[in-house]
Copies of this chain bind each other. A is one copy, B any other.
């Protein structure tokens, strides 16, 4: 399937893995990229820019396909502003396929020049948003794509309850850049539903936990497979 998203990121399938702390590491990232989707390295796994750089190199040993790096720009005790800046610099220096930002928009957090810096390095920018307003801001700031993250998504950016079914068409109608949908997407049916709603790709994360390449404990994988639609706990 070809969409603007497959062309933009040079991938075969319009699917991206979302950021997952302690799980989205080189092995899983590379496996997803090798399968033709866009793998994800979560920067927050790493205590320094150099450690992230090592992980990028390790991933490149495992795949020659593009992959992205997730940077969550939210206040954190562990991850300082300086570390956020280091993550970003490393991604640009290493010319990774994409940076997926969640939290504050890059232009507001690191300044408008950061968007241009990523573009010059050939790094595509994606922002995960939970509202039309934030999608429009990302487009105006120069992002290449947005992720419409419904209430179902583990890292839904807002404190509301606007679902994937409602948010996707609203965002697709509001911006010209391509839209991923995230939240409640877990198989071909839900991916097809997202595309019918106007998305050109999907982001999944939990769906990739129950895989050989994910480092989660086998008991967690089994428990995930066992659970039903009422078993998600909001925290």
Could you list which residues of chain A lie within 8 angstroms of chain B, going by C-beta atoms? 131-132, 150-152, 160-167, 169-170, 183-185, 187, 189-190, 192-194, 196-198, 228-230, 234
Residues of B close to A166: CB separation below 8 A: 152, 184, 229
Residues of B close to A196: CB separation below 8 A: 189, 192-193, 196
| Complex Cα–Cα for A164 and B163 (A) | 9
Copy number in the complex reads 2
Q: Is the CB of B169 within 8 A of A151?
A: no
Q: Is the CB of A229 within 8 A of B150?
A: no
Contact of A170 among B164, B170, B229 (CB under 8 A): B229
| CB-CB under 8 A for A229 and B167, given A192-B196, A197-B190 | yes
| Complex Cα–Cα for A189 and B164 (A) | 13
| CB-CB under 8 A for A193 and B170, given A131-B230, A132-B228 | no
Residues of B close to A160: CB separation below 8 A: 230
